Every structure is written in structure tokens, then in C-alpha cells.
Amino acid sequence: MCSFLSRFFSKITGTRTQDEEEDSKLDFLEGDGRASVTKSVQLLLGACFNSALFIVIGIAVKCIAGPAMVLAVILGAVFSTLNNLSLCELCSRFPTKTSYYAIIYDNVGELCAYIVAWFQLLQVLFMVSVVSVTVGEYIYYLANPPPHISWLPPHKFWAAIELDTLVFTVVFVVVLSLIVSVGLRLCSGYLTVLFWINCAAFVFMFIVIVCYADTLHWVVPEDFQPFEIIGTVQGIAVTMFFFTHLDRIIEQTSEFKKTDYVVPVSLGVSLLCVFVYYLCATIFLANLMSIEDIAKEATIPKAFASATFYDSKYVICSVALLIFVLTIVEAYLGAQRVLDLLVEDGLMHHKFSNSKKKTNFFSVLSIAFLSIPLFVWLPVVTLIQGFCISSLIITLIINCTTVVVQYQPAEKEGEEETSVFPNWAYTKSMVIRFLLCCGYITHEKVLSTLGVKIDVEPTEQTSKIINWCVVLYVPSCLGLALAMIYGLPGLGKNQWVVVGALIFLIITIFINFRVMLMQPKGKSFFFEKNIFASLIPLVNIGLSSILLVTLDWKAFVAVAVWTGLGLTFYFLFGITYSNEAIFNRIQQLDEKSPGRVRFDDPPQLSTSLRNVQPENTDADSQQFLFSDDTELLEFPQNR
């Protein structure tokens, strides 16, 4: 029995038992080329369960309780679509990588990859806390329905709304399936599938909300936008995360080596997403409880004490409870996957890993205990906004990485330079080209006379220019967002300061954008006009900055505390015991002492340093460098 449970759990988590063979990590495809059933089901369930988080937090989002939620859903869907396009472009450039964590680690640096993984763990903590509160509120609402809000249908028609919406959803899913099944035959890749997913989800949410909202109240500003413009922008920041599970879909489908097998899985995910959004719309319509009452009365014990399962509405209570349990399980499994990546790179202690071929619940218990303070001390709104902050920071890092990798050379030059600054020749060329009407005057004779060299292909020097442009672009966008959101309302008091700051930031953003357009970059995989490959992530950075500055400062305090803990752990443990640090120490030993191992490039997949023989020793005196129980010296390339 224990062996069966161990095998079953290893299938779910992607780990292997001791008696299983060591296969490639890219095990989504079986021997005959078909997609693994277990992995496909895991992918579908992961998408559905991650979406369930945003079903239950929807009832706690007060800032989008008015009809302006439609506007927030529209903009959130557009923003999500742009982010998915950017992430697809990033993953397509590194087909052997199975996560954007690995891409960021290899192209931006160890610290940025660690921050991304650390914020993913924070998302899990917020997820566990938020779901615990909001599911209890939902069940408690069904047991004790409060009076209705004017622009929502009366409570006595709620059951009819549920039936009508369900029928509409079934018809909508069937029609969507037919359209997508025919349309996918004419396309390749999963970009089109993601487009259909976003369009279907947006159209469905739009129709449901418009049908059941009282249109007479839309013309009244107080009813249409009861929480002012900042409330609507916060609604965008929250509703866009109805779509964030698509990042996980893209990340996992990158493990497919043939696009034909990605399409059916993505199609199944899209159908599940539409059904999930039906549940989301139903809960939004049923939400008649204020945010203050949630913190006081929405507890799991009270919900179970008042619930008696004799009516059809309590069946939905059971579904909500099931979603709660499955979401928690999915959160733990996602956290374990992140911890495995950190342990693999030496950034986390090995006790948090499942690499010992057995299930380790130490990390699960740690996450559960760390979630308790968040659950007890922080209100629901802070939990939701903290989740949004961590997701937006990850989005910023991913989009910055997407921009940077487009300008990197295909092959590295002979000797790597340690300086992050471009040399004087390239810096002078950049300044001269920009001064010539922002680079629009590019006649060869003029440029050659001034000593400007134009590169057709990206080089190490041109990529360093882009690195600095991105570093300056992100703070400028954050500053411009702060000036727009909080400076414009007080324009009468400090008009010169605000206007001056706006002009300076706009000019800075334009300069950085124009410099990036002048630099050569690699060919795009999805865009015929290569400008869109870099324009989309730059737009995403600007939108993320606007959404980020509108969130409450209390949520930033919680995120800052978590970030401080992560950086402290990194500088005390990770920076010393990481694979990168060990590799650098070996290179230093090689330079000082002959006979040591020297690597011109990092070892390939699963190559242990202890299995590499020294160069200057004879056959009788060959010794391994490290003992067999050394585990932090593996440098996997295809994560």
C-alpha cells in the first residue's frame, strides 16, 4: 500500500521512486511520441486549480464591485494577452529550458532568478491564506444570505441565474470547441491557442456581467465607478490574475518538443478555463457581503457550523470546499517544484528537496506554518494585493529578460569582459547616433566621417548598451506612474514640480526606447515585424508599473518583509553554497594550482565534477576531486 501511494504521489509531483529508471526531464512525451496521459491531466488540473484561487478571491475584491468591473476585465485581459505573448517569445528562444526560472538564471543572473523563485513561494503563502478565508466566506454566505445590492439581481432569482448561466456556458463551450477545432488546423504553435483562451474568457465574463447588471445604473457615475479611478485600476491589477495560470501553461508546454501535441492540451485547458470563469461570474453575482464582514464572520468553523446540506445551493458549497482543498494541494506542489529548482542550484538547503527519491513533507509543513501569521494578522485585501504585488514584480523581471535576450549575440565572443559598461567606442557611437535627430539621420558618409560604426548583428557591446537602457527604463516607468497617479490630483499645489517630473521622465523613457530601437537584435520567432517583439514587453513594463503603484502600502510592507528575509537567506547561505559560487572557486583553484580541473564552459546536463579527471596526473594517482556524497556540484542545463 505504501509503495502504491509512493508511486502515485511521485506521478503527481513529477518525482521518481528508487526503483524507477532515471529518464530525461522532458518526459511529457512517451516512447511512441504521444503525450503522457498523467502529465496531460496534471497540466489540465494545474490550470483549473490555479484559476480557482481567483474564483474565491473575487468575492473579497471590493474595488471592482460596480459595473466598472467590465472595464477592469477588458484591460486585465488585454494586459494578460500581452504578457503571454512576451512569455511565449522568451520561451521560444530557449526550447531546451523547461521554466522561465532557468532562462532568467542563465541570461540575467542568479540573484534575479532567486528573487523570482522567492516571490513564487510568497504567492503560495498568500494563496493558502486567501483561499482559507474566502471559501469560508462563500459557504457562510450561502448559509446566511444578506440583502442584495441594487445593481445586482434580487437574491430570489439567484437559482434561476445559476441555471441560465450554466446553460449558456454549455452552449458557449460547444460553440467555442467547434470554432477552435477548425481554426487550429490552420495555425501552428500555441500562441493562437492562448489568444482564443483570452478572447473566450473575456467575452464570456463580459456577456454574463452585462446581462445581469442593471443597465439604468450605468449612466450614474457613482454607481458605475463607486471607488473612483484608483479603485478601477486596482480592479485591473486583480482581475488580470484570472489569467495568470496561463503562465504556468506556457511554462509546462515548453516541455513539448512537437507543437502538434501542445495544441490538444492547450485546447482542453481553454475549455476548463471557460468553465472556471463561469464559476467566477456566479460567485461575483452572488457576492452580497461587505469586506468588513468577511474578516469578522468568514471563518471555516463557523461556516461548517451553519451549513446543512439539504438544498441545491449547498452542493455549490461542497464544490467551493473541493476547490479550496485542491487549490491548497496545487499550491503545495507548485511550491515544492520551486524549492527543487533552488536546491538543484544550491540556493536552498537539501532538506527542502524531493531529490532523494522519496517524498519529503518538510517543505509542505513549513509553508503551512508560515501561512498562519498571514492568515491571522493580515486582512483579506492586503493578502490579495500582496499576491498581486509579487506577481507584478515577477512580470517585470520576465519582461525585462525578454527584452535583454533579444539583443544578445548568437555566439559569445572570445574573452568575456567583467565590466557591465560598453567600451568607449560603442558609447560614443550611441551618443552620436542619438544626437543626430534621435538616430533618424543615419547616412553612411555622415556616420563614417564621425567615426560611428553600425553593427548589423548583435554583439557583446551592443547587448551591454541594452542592459543599461533596461535598468534606466524600469525606474523611469515607476516614477512616471507615481507622478500620474498621485501627482496629477495635486497639480494645483505643486504644479511646476509635477509637470517638470513628468517631462523629465517622459524624455528619459523616450531616450531609452529610441536607443533600444537603434541597436541590432536577433530574429523574432513570432513577429514578422521585429519591432513588436521588443515593443510588447516594454509596454508590459509600463502597465505593470502603473498597476504596481496603485496598490496599498500595507501590502508592500508584507512583501518587503518577505523580500528582506529572502535576501538575508541568500547572502548568508545561497551566495556561498550555490553552484555558481562553487564553480568560481574551482576556477580560482585552477589558476593557482596546476593539475586542477579547468572548464571553459559549464558542465553539461547532470555532469558531476567528481567524475572529471585531472589533466596533469598519471593513471595510478588519479583521484576524484570530491566525495560521492557531494550533491551541490551538478550543473543541469535543461531545467
| d(C-alpha 139, C-alpha 217), whole Å | 29
Q: Residues with Cβ < 8 Å from 34, sequence gap 6 or more? A: 261
In DSSP terms, 634 is beta-bridged to 608
d(CA 332, CA 315): 26
pLDDT for 34: 40
pLDDT value for 74: 57
Stretch among 78-87, 167-176, 485-494, 521-530 having the lowest mean pLDDT = 167-176
d(CA 249, CA 69): 26
**DSSP secondary structure string for all residues of 194-251:** HHHHHHHHHHHHHHHHHHHS-GGGGGSHHHH-TTHHHHHHHHHHHHGGGSTHHHHHHH
Report the C-alpha gap between 262 and 410 in whole angstroms.
Answer: 27
Max avg pLDDT among 47-51, 69-73, 285-289: 69-73
Residue 446's pLDDT band, with cuts at 50, 70 and 90, is low
Q: What is the mean pLDDT of residues 552-576?
A: 84
Say whether pLDDT at 76 is over 50: yes
Helix (H, G, I), strand (E, B) or coil at 184: helix
Range with lowest mean pLDDT among 46-50, 333-337, 560-564: 46-50
Choice among 138-147, 409-418, 457-466 with the minimum mean pLDDT: 138-147
Residue 341 pLDDT greater than 60, yes or no: yes
Which has the higher per-residue pLDDT, 6 or 483?
A: 483
Q: Stretch 328-356: mean pLDDT, rounded?
A: 73
End-to-end CA distance of the chain: 32
Average pLDDT over residues 490-501: 66
DSSP assignment letter at 154: P
Q: What is the pLDDT of residue 164?
A: 46
349, pLDDT greater than 50: yes
pLDDT of residue 361: 58
Determine the average pLDDT of the residues in 514-535. Answer: 69
Number of H helices, E strands in the chain: 24, 0
Burial 361-392 (b: 16+ CB within 10 A, else e): eebbeebeebbeebbeebbbbbbbbbbbbbbb
Higher pLDDT, residue 438 or 88:
88
Encode pLDDT of 219-251 as tens digits.
Answer: 444 444 444 555 555 455 555 544 454 445 444
Which residue from 332, 241, 185 is spatially nearest to 58, judged by alpha carbons? 241
Residue 458 has pLDDT above 80, yes or no: no
Q: Which tens digits make up the pLDDT trace of 92-114?
A: 777 667 677 888 888 888 888 88
pLDDT in tens, 120-153: 888 777 766 666 655 555 555 555 554 443 333 3
CA–CA gap between residue 72 and residue 237 (Å, rounded): 8
**For the whole model, what pTM was predicted?**
0.63
Alpha helices in 378-494, H assignment, sequence order: 380-406, 424-435, 444-449, 460-482
More confident residue, 428 or 313: 428
| Structural domain boundaries in the chain | 35-406, 437-551
User: Which pLDDT belongs to residue 32?
Assistant: 41
Distance CA 151, CA 285 (A): 10
For 463, other C-beta atoms within 10 Å of its C-beta total 19
Q: Is 485 exposed, middle or buried (0-12, 13-18, 19+ CB in 10 A)?
A: middle
257-303 residue pLDDT tens:
444 444 444 445 444 544 444 444 444 434 433 434 433 433 333 43
Grid coordinates representing 412 are: 559569445
Position 404 scores a pLDDT of 84
Min mean pLDDT across 89-93, 318-322, 504-508, 511-515 is at 318-322
* List of long-range contacts for 359-364, beta carbons under 8 Å, 24+ apart: 359/6, 359/9, 359/10, 359/13, 359/15, 363/332, 363/335, 363/336, 363/339, 364/332, 364/335, 364/336
**φ and ψ at 344, to 5 degrees?**
-60, -30
CB 392 within 8 A of CB 245: no
**Is 35-406 a domain of CATH 1.20.1300.10?**
no
